[in-house]
Amino acid sequence: MNAARLRAGVRMGITCHVASILGTYGFRSPTYFPSPEDATAGNDAMLALCQSEGELVRMMVTVNPNYTTHALFEIERCVLRGAVGIKLLASRRADDKLLDPICELAAQSRVPLLHHIWQHRRREWPNQEISDGADLARLARRHPRVTFILAHIGGGGDYLHTFAAIRDVKNVVADTSGSGVDRGMLDEAVSALGSQRLLWGSDLTMETGLAKLRALEHTGLSSEDDVRDIRWRNAARVFGLGSPRTENAPAPKAPPRTARR
């Protein structure tokens, strides 16, 4: 999986993968409710990957806020070793006060907090305690010094609800990742949030990431500068990364497939 991601990343022009490992992905504890031991194991694996890949891979430290002491310890441990953000899954509703000490540590450590989000929570879903944009907005209002990354507007659910929920909460930025490639989604995102509050991402489907990268240029709303912001500049700012040595551009278009045969 990691090799496939890095292979596709080279093709796409990705100069830095900001990633996390979600415990044991359900092998020993549920993916979205990782046990402390599994969260640590995933973070250790991520630290090792960062070490082997250098600047190409940066990590977010994954924690389960139901284990507050462990979560705080884990954040301190991994930030000291180079983690550039905190990853919260769906182990606890985003506006729960249990998240407050984690947010305070994020502010103190000056790292952003990425929260797994379901776009428009209309009911409970199995295997996760889902949150939506409105839930995250309440948390973000309580912690104005923290930058919150609302995960994957293409990751399922009604992104239009999300845009309305976070439009006026300026310390929430959104990432474009997820398998959803609805036409109009990017236009609406740029229109509601502006190009400086959007981070490009891929999640588990890199082809949808590449499609969005290519589509950005055709939204009709983004100037070249706006596109550059979404491609990398916003991420570099939010995660405190340097500029890429060569600016990442979308993969060159392949020749028409019929011509190759």
Name the residues that contact other proteins, by CB under 8 A: 1-2, 4-5, 7-8, 11-12, 118-120, 122, 156-160, 179-184, 187, 204-208, 210-212, 214-215, 218, 251, 253-254, 256-258, 260-261
Smallest distance from the beta carbon of 181 to other proteins, in angstroms? 4
**Measured between alpha carbons, how far is 132 from 88 in angstroms, rounded to an integer?**
13
Contact residues for 21 (Cβ-Cβ < 8 A; gap 6+): 42, 43, 45, 46, 49, 62
**Measured between alpha carbons, how far is 238 from 69 in angstroms, rounded to an integer?**
26
Q: How is residue 15 written in tokens?
A: 């100069």
Q: Considering the complex, state which of residue 60 and residue 79 has its C-beta at the smaller distance from other proteins.
A: 60
Smallest distance from the beta carbon of 163 to other proteins, in angstroms? 13
Q: Considering the complex, state which of residue 80 and residue 254 has its C-beta at the smaller distance from other proteins.
A: 254
**Measured between alpha carbons, how far is 174 from 29 in angstroms, rounded to an integer?**
28
Q: Considering the complex, state which of residue 13 and residue 112 has its C-beta at the smaller distance from other proteins.
A: 13
Smallest distance from the beta carbon of 117 to other proteins, in angstroms? 12
**Measured between alpha carbons, how far is 261 from 256 in angstroms, rounded to an integer?**
10
Smallest distance from the beta carbon of 68 to other proteins, in angstroms? 30
**Measured between alpha carbons, how far is 1 from 152 in angstroms, rounded to an integer?**
20
Smallest distance from the beta carbon of 32 to other proteins, in angstroms? 15
Using an 8 Å Cβ cutoff, are 212 and 187 in contact? no
Q: Considering the complex, state which of residue 48 and residue 204 has its C-beta at the smaller distance from other proteins.
A: 204
**Measured between alpha carbons, how far is 139 from 129 in angstroms, rounded to an integer?**
16
**Pseudo-torsion of CA 234, 240, 244, 250, nearest 10°?**
-30
Based on C-alpha coordinates, what's the Rg of the chain? 18
Q: Considering the complex, state which of residue 7 and residue 110 has its C-beta at the smaller distance from other proteins.
A: 7
Q: Considering the complex, state which of residue 74 and residue 226 has its C-beta at the smaller distance from other proteins.
A: 226
Smallest distance from the beta carbon of 180 to other proteins, in angstroms? 6
